[in-house]
Amino acid sequence: MPKEYWVAAGIALLVLSSVLDSFAGPVSLIVGRNPFAFLSAASLGTYPLTAVAIGVRAVGVFILAVTTISAIDKQYFLKAVGVLILGVLVELYAVQQLATGAQTTPLNWTLAFAYAGALLLPAIFYYLLRGAFSGVSSQVSGEPEEPAAESEKRVEKMKEISKDEPDSPESE
């Protein structure tokens, strides 16, 4: 599926989460210092619509993050490191926001960032596996590392260079 559809889906999920928040009305969540404490049965039972809105928002943020990272072509280890850094940063941000009681982002968004960061964990493993097996797949499949046309151009260049050298056997 084209990346534009994924971006549109991520934005649509963010809009849907805002609509769900407006239906749920204002809530005063008490989470403590652990962003995953909200996932307790008591919190989910008390605030079900808010929980769904936070989950939908987390999936939207996750989709937008992975779509952005996927714009990098074939550098799977770089993608894995980028996703790891992003995931760690959003987790640290959420923990600090909850610990200090800062109001930089609303609590719903802070929790969504934390959950989206946790959702990035499988993406890290996926990119690591793709990076590990990307070199092996070309050797197993027997496909050349470069296209034949590129090889022919390189060989022709090498022949031209060797003709220009006075000591080469082809120049005599």
Region for 123 from its dihedrals, namely left if φ exceeds 0, alpha if ψ lies in -120 to 50, beta otherwise: alpha
The pair phi, psi for residue 14, each rounded to 5°, is -65, -40
pLDDT tens digit at each of 172 positions of the chain: 788 999 999 999 999 999 998 888 878 877 888 888 888 888 888 889 999 999 999 999 999 999 998 888 888 899 999 999 999 999 999 999 988 887 888 888 999 999 999 999 999 999 999 888 876 765 666 565 566 677 778 788 888 887 776 665 554 4
Lookup: tokens for 155: 């060989």
CA–CA distances in Å: residue 61 to residues 12, 111, 119, 141, 161: 11, 11, 10, 36, 53
Q: Which of 113, 49, 117, 59 is nearest to 86 (CA)?
A: 117
Calculate the CA 150 to chain-centre distance. 32
In terms of pTM, does the model score above 0.75?
Answer: no
Lookup: tokens for 136: 């092996």
- Helices 3-24 & 48-69, crossing angle to 10 degrees? 160
Please say whether the beta carbons of 112 and 57 come within 8 A.
yes
Lookup: tokens for 91: 């987790």
Domain residue spans of the chain: 3-141, 146-172
